[in-house]
Structures are given as C-alpha cells and as structure tokens.
Amino acid sequence: MKTSFFRVCLISAAVIGFTLPQAKAQHPVFSEVSVHDPSVIKTGDTYYVFGSHLASAKSKNLMQWQQISSSVNNNNPLIPNVYTELKETFDWAQSDTLWAPDVAQLADGKFYMYYNACKGDSPRSALGVAVSDKIEGPYKNKGIFLKSGMEGKSEDGTTYHANVHPNVVDPQTFFDHKGKLWMVYGSYSGGIFILKMNPKTGFPLPNQGYGKKLLGGNHSRIEGPYISYNPETKYYYLYLSFGGLDASGGYNIRAARSKYPDGPYYDAAGHNMLDAKGKDGSFFDDKAIEPYGVKLMGSYTFASQSEKGKGYVSPGHNSVFYDGKTKRSYLIFHTRFPNRGEEHEVRVHELYMNKDGWPAAAPYRYAGEPDTHISAAAAPGTYKLIQHGKDITAAIKTPKTIRLNNDGTISGEMTGTWTITGSSKAKNNLNGTNYDGVFLKEWDSAREKEVVTFSVLSGDGEAVWGVE
C-alpha cells in the first residue's frame, strides 16, 4: 500500500533482538524488530519474516526476534550487489528500493524469493523471482515475469489501464491442499489477482496474462493479499489490508474465504468480494469497500487518554502461519503505535476459529501461552471493550467498560448476556447483537500479568475484544 499515489514505506530504526531460550508464558520475554509487510515461512525450527526494503528477521518462538537485514543496499546479505543483480527491475520501476516480497520453498528444496519494485506515484512495477540454496541467501535473480504501469499493450494483450489491470506488487506464493502452486498479488489499481504457477520453475504457467481477478478495482485501497488454507474448516482464507499504511491511513486487517484457492471469496455477511471496489471513475473510495470482509483489527488503544502505547495504529499487511502439528494459527503483521509516529514493529497474535469458521484474533500478542480452558467461574469481572467496527478511519478506537456478571448478564456501557460453551467458546450478546468467538487467558505486557480476554465476531464480521 502506498502513499502519494500508492505508498512510501517509512522504515524506523530496528530494535535488534537476539534469540533467547523459550520464556515461560507467565513471564515472557520479547525482542522487537522492524520488518514492514512481514511474510512468514518456517524452515526447520526457525520462523523467518521477509518484508519491504529487503528487511528480514528470524525467531524460534514468534516472540524473540533477531534482525537479519534492514535496507536495500549492495551489502544486504539476502541479495548482495542488489542494484546490479536486479538492475532491470529498478530501471523499469524507476525506483531504488523493493517492496513486500514472499519466500517459498519448492520441491527442489531451494528457496524462491518473489521480489517486486514500484515507482510509487504510479503502478509502474515489476515482479520477478530470485533463488537460493539457503533461506538467508544469497539469492540469485532468475528474472522478471510480470510488469505493470506501461503505456500500450499490457501482460494480457490489451492496453494497460490502472483502473482495471493490477499493480504487480505484494506477491504471496502458496500450495493448495492438493499440491498445486499459486501466486496471489496486487495493490490498489485494478485489484487483487491470482495466477497458477509452475512448481518446477517457480514461474507462472503460460497464457494467463495477469491471471484471475479476486476483488478490487478503480484504485480501491486494498492490498497485501495472503491466502492460508485451514484443514479443520476446509476453507481458504484470503487476508487483506484495507486503507492506508501510515499512521493516519487507517490500515486494517480483513478476511474472506472460499472453498477454492482461486475463489470466489465471500465474507461473513455473504458479500462476493468481487464486488469490493470503488465506483467507476472514483479514487480511494473507502466508503464503497467498508462493508466488505471480516475486519479482524484496526487502530485501537486500551489506555486512557493520558497513557501511551497500549494499542496499535494501522496494523496490517499480514501473513499467517498454520502449525499442522498443534493446529494453531498465528497472524504475523507490522503495526505502528499510539504517539510513536511512523515507527513500526512486527507483532504476532494467535487466531481462533469461531463456531461459524471465521478467524478471530487474540486481543494481546502471542506470549507462548498453552491452550488453556477458561471455566465459567473464571470469566466474570470488569472488562475494557474494543469495537473494531467496519470503518476505514484514522481514528483510534477507545474502550468502553462492561461487566460480565455471575448470572450470565452483561452490564455497564453495553448490556446483554454471555456464556461459555465447550473449549472456551464464547457466545455473547451486546446491545442486541450476537457475537461468537473464544475466551482466552493471555499475558498483558503493560500490566505484566495474566488476564482473561475474549475475542468475538458478529454475524456480519465485526470484531469485538474484551480484556479483564
């Protein structure tokens, strides 16, 4: 996602963390890094994230991160001599930096980095692939396979039009549950597209042009697509970022799902995501796209106006890691913070499927907690409540105060009822609206203690968080 016509990614100084032994859940230790647009891959016992500007980091536990690289320069270990290695890319994009990449390991055991660059004030972009025997590089360029923003004939043989054709950035390459390889990509412009890929070469299969459109168009502020299959629900989940990435852009994370990797994708309200686009002739028409997608989180704070830092600003451009052994899912994204300007860091929150098979994000960052059963006796208490809504806004959501009473009622600034069913599932009613999700025990870093929380979704995809 890009400011001006598209975006300028502002990289803050990274706080470099070193990998430490696994911390106990009740006293977790975090090491922070800055990787914008983090795309996750795990190899062996180590998680890696790769992001814009050739930034990268690694961790063994999703809590303590170590920075590997942080900027595009000829000494970057991922692609040494990058300005020579990717000269064609920089020349086409008229840029000196790279945007959100993705790294996938294919059947030959090699690591394929899908890199991209964009001019920034137009969708003049190039997307290609580089390959390495080792995940930390060095990667050698195999070539560009998509371009956008040209004058004249585009990749599909028609004249390029930015309202209709994609901006070829923000790729993610993934295998479906049948072993077929795909790449989803796109930002603003004509929307989000998906291509069938050749798992032997890492390049697209021939004669697809830009591929199949999934959603977007007319410069709608939608980008950062990431598709993750969940074998329990048997759905493909398409995660997206709506809005603008900077501190005043209203970036927020949304999800849709499909039974097939190439769609069609629908949200919880039943909207076909192909309809999520601005009106013809419009530009950054946020109101037109606000109703679409399950909004997992946007800008918020649990703090009072006099406190600082207890929340996120413009969280987005996420990836998802599903652990087949534990059957747990993790949302990995970058976020800015209240009163900290454009400084950003990587955050990881666990995802939980509600009764209708939609992902709800834990209110607090992952701190190594085991799955813990919450009994009905543990839930009553006073909670701060965040309603994430469906809007795209620079406003930071602030909490209401409610109380979960022993008799199953809810009182305070909102009223209703609450229940816990098996496996800590939450079923709450707030001011007449039903929400389903999960009760959790999580670590609150600000107060340095374990607390009970809940994360629930309404039937049309609005997230509500409560923290004790």
Counting residues of the chain whose pLDDT is more than 90, the rounded percentage is 90
Task: Give the Cα separation of 135 and 170 in Å (integer).
Answer: 19
Q: How confident is the model at residue 451 (pLDDT cuts 50, 70, 90)?
A: very high
- Count the Cβ atoms, other than its own, within 10 Å of residue 143: 11
Q: Over the stretch 128-139, which tens digit does the pLDDT of each residue have?
A: 999 999 999 999
Residue 418 CB contacts under 8 Å (≥ 6 apart), including other chains: 379, 404, 408, 409, 410, 426, 427, 428, 429
Task: Give the Cα separation of 154 and 216 in Å (integer).
Answer: 18
Tell me the residue length of the chain: 468
Q: Would you state the pLDDT for residue 304?
A: 61
Residue 348 CB contacts under 8 Å (≥ 6 apart), including other chains: 62, 63, 330, 331, 332, 365, 366
Closest CA to 122 of 202, 267, 213, 2: 2
Whether the pLDDT of residue 305 is over 60: the answer is no
* Whether 175 contacts 181, CB under 8 Å: yes
Question: Catalytic residue positions?
Answer: 37, 223
Whether the pLDDT of residue 427 is over 70: the answer is yes
Q: Over the stretch 331-368, which tens digit does the pLDDT of each residue have?
A: 999 999 999 999 999 999 999 999 999 999 999 999 99
Q: Where are the beta strands (DSSP E) in 101-221?
A: 102-105, 111-118, 125-132, 140-148, 172-175, 181-185, 192-197, 212-215
Whether the pLDDT of residue 18 is over 70: the answer is no
Chain centroid to Cα 301, Å, comes to 19
Supply 370's token pair. 């085991």
3-state secondary structure at position 150: coil
Sequential DSSP letters for 201-242? TSSBPSS-TT-EEEE--TT-SEEEEEEEEETTTTEEEEEEEE
| Average model confidence (pLDDT) across the chain | 93
Q: Over the stretch 184-231, which tens digit does the pLDDT of each residue have?
A: 999 999 999 999 999 999 999 999 999 999 999 999 999 999 999 999
Mean local confidence (pLDDT), 313-332: 97
Which comes out higher in pLDDT, residue 40 or 15? Answer: 40
Closest CA to 112 of 147, 79, 151, 87: 79
Closest CA to 389 of 248, 250, 207, 272: 250
Q: How confident is the model at residue 77 (pLDDT cuts 50, 70, 90)?
A: very high
Specify the pTM. 0.94
